[in-house]
Amino acid sequence: MQWLRNSARVVFGARIGGVRIFPIATKIVLVYVLFILLSNFSSHYISLMLYRSELVKQARQLLVRDLKDAYTFANTQYEIFHFSGNRDQALRRIEEKALLDFKHRKSLLLGLARDGRIEINAARTAKPAAFTDAAALAAMRPGQAATENEGFISFSLGGEKYFGVYKHNPSWDMLLVRAEEFGEFNEDSNRIFRTISVLIVVITIACAAIGVFIINYVLRFVRLITADIMRMTREHRIGLIDMHGSQADDVTFMGMAFNSLAGIIGTMMNIFQKFTNKDIVLKAYEEKRVRLEGSRRELTCLFSDIKSFTYMTEVLGTDIITLLNLHYTSAIGIILRNDGIIGSIIGDALLAVYGVFGEESARMKSYQAVVSGYKTHEVAAEIRAKMQRIRDDIVEKNGKLTPLEEKVYKAVLIEVGVGIDGGHVFYGNIGSYERMTNTVIGDTVNSASRLEGLNRVYHAPVICSEYVVNDIKANVPDHGLEFFELDLVKVKGKTEGKRVFWPIFKKDITPAMRADLRHYSAGLKLYYAGKWKQAHARFRQCSLPAAAVFLERTGHGTCPKNWKGIWTMETK
């Protein structure tokens, strides 16, 4: 009885959710049985052997196409190897790409060095240790003429006969050989030949046309599912398959099951992307794993901090989270749009890193950091303007603010400081395979934080290092910025002074501001030279907030002994 129930389930399918899911095989068999019973037997004999030579020609054309794809991909991997220096990884990727394109079990893609060593060995079967067909190797070796660097070849390998095409790749200086095994290639035609010899079944033209139509109609969702999955593979994304109009069979059930799985994976990927930087997500998608690894890279770091955060926290309590999220929603969007990633978020402090997305990103890293810094100030200004409108509405309605409302109003007026520095840092994943984090470590991170702290001294919206200035000037010719030196500072924890700059977009410099900057620069030169009285006089002519600290330093007019022009920052 159990055997009968199992057999019935195989033939007629099982019920899922009250609906019987008919196996697609049953539908195909029923259709074919119906038309086989209606068809006529005939002695028409199709000799596949007459077409074998034509099939070989067609196969060679397909092999030529496959070899062109492999050749192009090999050149791409050579460029990646030339950049990364990892030859073995590049060769393995060529093998993996070839294996994905193989349609037969014994298909081969070989990369042969001049001495016959096999450096690329893409095969699903046992891989030969060396290319032993000396005659074939000699025939394929590159000659003087360009036409001698490619062609068709037959050879023996591992005790089996192969036919294929070859082409010399000058980048890798190796022969790329795409080949198929004779016996396997002829296996289908031989099997059909034997089957037709035993049983000849011919369906009338009318029945064949009707049968093909019906089978194509029944299997239309198989093609739809396959096409959608292939598209998702090409686009490196996962989505839902449109199963509208499908019938209750196992193909539909397979599609619905895929959609259910896609929904789960999509949710997980969405969560993963919110907690992980874009470059790590892309690498994990490509390699199918997240590694504990890192490298020394030249990057630019932006450190942003909210001023008077302690007061804000005391006044707002847990509502500070809402305010922070309001600020970070826009600020982080700006960073991501400028090819930055989020290094860390610790309360009111945000670390962004630039230059991780390839050559163009590396070239623009410091400029994008400066743009992000000013945009962050715009975000804070928009929040202050919004809070000002709310305050004005309350005053218009009630006449004035209560003392508590006044404190809350002052607390929500977000102001930020931005410090930017660049250089060599460690960038990668640290932790364990149970719990890891993406991080950036190095003196550049600490320096960006110290530069942000100088905002409280010089009251410039963005302060950057000399590295950032030189990086932008060297790599972004049309940057549209002017860089004004603010001071020579020895930050806490350092033994040497560091020049700090205020980057300003030229379009934002008014004539009055230009005059102030000239006075400031002249006063700074006198200050460095130890001529503090003259420096004090020039700083008095400057209305920039940064001049106030120099008026205070030079107020008594006496330059300290052993003056080197370096101001020491005593706090962080």
Q: Band of the pLDDT at 223, cuts 50, 70, 90? A: low
Q: What is the pLDDT of residues 119-135, one digit of tens each?
A: 888 888 877 777 888 88
| Residue 119 CA, distance from chain mean position | 29
Kindly report which listed range (94-103, 165-174, 205-214) carries the lowest average pLDDT score. Answer: 205-214
Q: Between these two residues, 94 and 263, which has the higher pLDDT value?
A: 94
Q: Band of the pLDDT at 233, cuts 50, 70, 90? A: low
- pLDDT of 196 higher than 70: no
Domain boundaries, the chain: 16-44+200-270, 49-187, 288-568
State phi, psi for 254 to the nearest 5 degrees.
-65, -45
Kindly report which listed range (157-171, 182-196, 364-378, 401-415) carries the lowest average pLDDT score. Answer: 182-196
| Residue-level pLDDT at 488 | 92
CB neighbour class for 382 (10 Å; exposed up to 12, middle 13-18, buried from 19): middle
- pLDDT of 331 higher than 60: yes
DSSP collapsed to 3 states, 297-340: EEEEEEEEEECCHHHHHHHHHHHHHHHHHHHHHHHHHHHHHCCE
Alpha carbons 412 and 409: distance in angstroms, whole number: 5
DSSP collapsed to 3 states, 83-128: HHCCHHHHHHHHHHHHHHHCCCCCCEEEEECCCCCEEEEEECCCCC
Helix/strand/coil for 159: coil
Alpha carbons 438 and 357: distance in angstroms, whole number: 15
Find, among 475, 467, 460, the residue nearest to 421 by Cα: 467
Mean of the pLDDT values across residues 252-263?
68
Burial 541-563 (b: 16+ CB within 10 A, else e): ebebebbebbeebbeeeebeeee
Helix/strand/coil for 171: coil
| Residue-level pLDDT at 28 | 60
Q: What is the pLDDT of residues 357-387, one digit of tens each?
A: 888 888 999 999 999 999 999 999 998 888 8
Question: Which residues make Cβ contacts (< 8 Å) with residue 162, sequence separation at least 6?
Answer: 108, 154, 155, 156, 179, 180, 181, 182
Q: What is the pLDDT of residues 278-309, one digit of tens each?
A: 555 555 555 455 555 567 889 999 999 988 88
- pLDDT of 171 higher than 70: yes
**Fold entry, domain 288-568:** Alpha-Beta Plaits (3.30.70)
Tell me if 427 sits within 8 A of 300, measured CB to CB.
no
User: For residue 477, which amino acid is it?
Assistant: P
The Cα diameter of the chain in Å comes to 118
- pLDDT of 473 higher than 90: yes
Tell me if 108 sits within 8 A of 76, measured CB to CB.
no
Mean of the pLDDT values across residues 158-179?
87
- pLDDT of 48 higher than 80: no
Find, among 163, 166, 160, the residue nearest to 138 by Cα: 166
Tell me if 281 sits within 8 A of 343, measured CB to CB.
no
DSSP state of 559: P
Q: Between these two residues, 413 and 230, which has the higher pLDDT value?
A: 413
Q: Band of the pLDDT at 249, cuts 50, 70, 90? A: low
DSSP 379-433: HHHHHHHHHHHHHHHHHHHHSS--HHHHHHHHHT---EEEEEEEEEEEEEEEE-S
- State the CB neighbour count (10 A cutoff) for residue 275: 11
pTM here? 0.55
Which residues in 174-279 belong to E strands, given as ranges?
174-181
CA distances from 431 to 338, 439, 440, 446, 492 (A): 28, 10, 13, 21, 29
| Residue-level pLDDT at 35 | 57
For residue 337 the two structure tokens come to 């749009």
Domain spanning 49-187, CATH architecture: 2-Layer Sandwich (3.30)
User: For residue 418, which amino acid is it?
Assistant: V
Q: Band of the pLDDT at 41, cuts 50, 70, 90? A: very low
Q: Band of the pLDDT at 329, cuts 50, 70, 90? A: confident
